[in-house]
Structure 1
Amino acid sequence: MLLIGLLPALVAAKTLEGVDLPEQVPVEGRNLVLNGAGIREKFFFDIYVAALYLPARMSDAARILQTDQPWRVTMNFLYSEVDKKKLDDGWEEGFEENVPSAGLTALRERLEQFKAMFPTLHKGDEAVLTYLPGKGVSVTIRGEQKGVVPGADFARALLSVWLGKEPVTGKLKKGIAGRPLRRKIK
């Protein structure tokens, strides 16, 4: 009976900056678990809440990047407007900082395909990036499927934007890698 009473608490969503983050998300017939979440900040502004979902929790960023496994990153935008050009520049910078130049050359066409899927985003918009081995990274924005970018190499490079040696921010890397944050997830 005690376990039945605790069940709702075990499956309840967490909240970060008003964004509900479910403990699990269904992906292709299996559940991915919330690994961690954090806030992308720039110049003291909160831009978006990012959450990483994996088959099992892992806290080693290098190991997460090396493991060819399904994952999902959700980006829930907090800032009033993030212009498409700024998004494109951010993706470009993230890839340049974390992918060797030879690898970036091999990814260039797919990176352009990926960037083309993103419009200007506004507060309340959600982008969902889901990687499935053998299929690629699917991009869903505001609930609309935009396309799939193939390749485990692309997926690893994309995830390195948050978990690589030069992540978008160290705090965000720490948060999605499942380490404690300055702002508590409720």
Structure 2
Amino acid sequence: MFQTAIRRSLRSALIALASLGALGASAAAIDVAGVKLDDGIELRGSKLQLNGAGIRYKTILKVYTAGLYLGNKVGTTEEVLAAAGPKRLTITLLRDIDANEFGKLFLRGVEDNSPRNEFGQLVPGLLRMGQLFADQKQLKAGDTFTVDWVPGTGTVITVKGAVQGESIKEQAFFNALLRIWLGPNPADWKLKDALLGKPT
């Protein structure tokens, strides 16, 4: 009787430890320039995993960290764009920056990486995004924003924890944003490799 009770207690303790281990694994994070990025997140009921993360440099200056979350890990731009389900790109600034200037860099990044025949249909979304950044005035080191693709909803942009306006329905717009970092003329080649999970 006594041994049975001990065995039950041990079993309960092992189950509790296993649960704690599972919680620890799900809460695991990587450090990118002092910014903690979770290995996995949940977006609108879907579990996503960190595909890759890195730092955007301008000359030798660190500008921001970026992390790409997908349902399954992939290694090419084409696979990222074709991946089904929700997706997230998260950016955390490492220095203060003029938000209007940041918006202009986004616009240039889309222009440099989008097929000419697609660019015209992207303009309304890009104008809205440019206005969104202009309204922010200044982005500070530590500020975070996310660009989410949610099937059935569209592109949802969140700045400093607040959703910005209506979603943009066309997937072509979200793909155009991703090409800023993953396209043929990315903002930073090392960051592109990092987001695709390649060693840098």
SS of the equivalent of 2:49 reads strand
CA distance in 2, matches of 1:153, 1:146: 19
Q: Normalising by structure 1, what TM-score?
A: 0.90
Q: Deviations over 1:119-168 (max 9, x none)?
A: 22110100111111221111111111112222111011111111111111
SS of the equivalent of 2:179 reads helix
Which residue identity is paired with 2:130?
A: K
Query: Contact 1:61–1:164 at 8 Å: present in 2 too?
Result: yes
1:145 to 2:163 alignment: yes
Which residue identity is paired with 1:105?
A: G
Contiguous gaps of at least 5 residues in structure 2: 1-13
CA distance in 1, matches of 2:186, 2:152: 25
- Equivalent in the alignment of 1:28: 44
- Equivalent in the alignment of 1:159: 178
Query: Contact 2:100–2:130 at 8 Å: present in 1 too?
Result: no
Query: Higher helix share goes to which structure?
Result: 2
- Equivalent in the alignment of 1:97: 112
> Percent of aligned positions with the same letter in both sequences?
31
Following superposition, the deviation at residue 8 of structure 1 comes to 5.2
Which one has the largest radius of gyration?
Answer: 2
1:123 to 2:138 alignment: no
SS of the equivalent of 2:85 reads coil
Which residue identity is paired with 1:32?
A: L
CA distance in 2, matches of 1:6, 1:26: 19
User: Aligned runs of 1:28-107 on 2, under 5 Å?
Assistant: 28-79=44-95, 81-107=96-122
Alpha-carbon RMSD across the aligned residues, in angstroms, is 1.7
Contiguous gaps of at least 5 residues in structure 1: 182-186
Which residue identity is paired with 2:32?
A: L
Following superposition, the deviation at residue 96 of structure 1 comes to 0.8
Q: Normalising by structure 2, what TM-score?
A: 0.84
- Equivalent in the alignment of 1:109: 124
Structure with bigger RCO (C-alpha 8 Å, 6+ apart): 1
Q: Which of 151, 160, 171 pairs up with 2:190?
A: 171
Which residue identity is paired with 1:133?
A: P
1:132 to 2:150 alignment: yes
With over 3 angstroms needed to count, the CA separation of the structure-2 counterparts of 1:68 and 1:107, relative to structure 1, is farther
CA distance in 2, matches of 1:117, 1:70: 22
